[in-house]
Amino acid sequence: MTFLRSTALGLVAATAMMADIGGAAAQDIGVKNIVLVHGAWADGSGWRPIYEILKKDGYNVRIVQNPLTSLEDDVAATDRVLDRLDGPAILVGHSYGGAVITESGDHEKVVGLVYVEAFVPDVGESPFGLIPQDPAHPPPFDIGADGFAFFNEGAYVPGFADALPAADAEFMRDSQVPISLKGGSTPLTVAAWKDKPAWYQLAKGDLVIPPDAQKAMSGRAKATVQEVEGGHLAFIAHAAETAELIETAAKAAGK
């Protein structure tokens, strides 16, 4: 009986110790809520590889589906997701999504901003206005009479999705969501990075937002910068590094 009692007590102690370890691990993740915001000519499915890593590591992840009809509509879509969360959140944006999180980042639940190959506008600036202008090489947009722009199909794979395997790049090209010129040209009224900490993933081979422009914007925002190889969708090609940057932000903002 003494042996059985000792064994039972040992199991109880081991279970309690494992619970303590699990509790400590849960606390170590920092801010638990992560909200991912896609950019133009894409949708939320591009976040799937990063979503799976973050979920496995214990985060509560939500993905915004921007309508891309106007900056105001996209900010409203992001705010709806934030409103439903319990507790603080890290807001993550890719490309045009960087403008959305810059405006939506003044939400009371947002405690940190992560930009991945993204625009980081200041008040009065628009995302399209931050694209370097070269009259000899205008942006490869196919603009309809309704004011919505597709990324030119011939340029999409080599210019926009060159970081991905060909089959994935072609699927994204054929499922792209057009953006309204109004949305891409609307000046921001808020620049949340002025008051909240920021992190930035810079793609050294980006053909949409040149690396020098990314460096200038991230520097202005005093962001912690992570550099990766690849083009404009490097955040998908380097999902592990992207997730690591987001988790770094979550842990830092949670202190």
Can you give the residue ranges of every domain in the chain? 32-253
- pLDDT confidence of residue 41: 97
Task: Tell me how far apart the alpha carbons of residues 169 and 194 are, in angstroms, rounded to a whole number.
Answer: 35
Pairing of strands 89-95, 141-143: unpaired
- Going by the DSSP 8-state scheme, the letter that residue 31 receives in this structure is S
Q: How far is CA 32 from CA 46, 82, 131, 201, in A?
A: 21, 13, 34, 20
Q: Show the low-confidence residues of the chain (pLDDT under 50).
A: 1-26
pTM, full prediction: 0.89
pLDDT of residue 25: 46
Topology of 32-253 in CATH? Rossmann fold (3.40.50)
pLDDT at residue number 16? 42
**pLDDT reported for residue 20:** 42
Tokens encoding 159: 């210019």
Residue 27 pLDDT: 54
Distance CA 33, CA 161 (A): 28
- Our CA angle for 23, 255, 50, nearest 5°, is 70
The rounded distance, in Å, linking the Cα atoms of 213 and 105 is 21
The torsion angle over the Cα atoms of residues 252, 97, 38 and 115, rounded to 10 degrees, is: -30
Of all helices (H) and strands (E), which one includes residue 62? strand 60-64
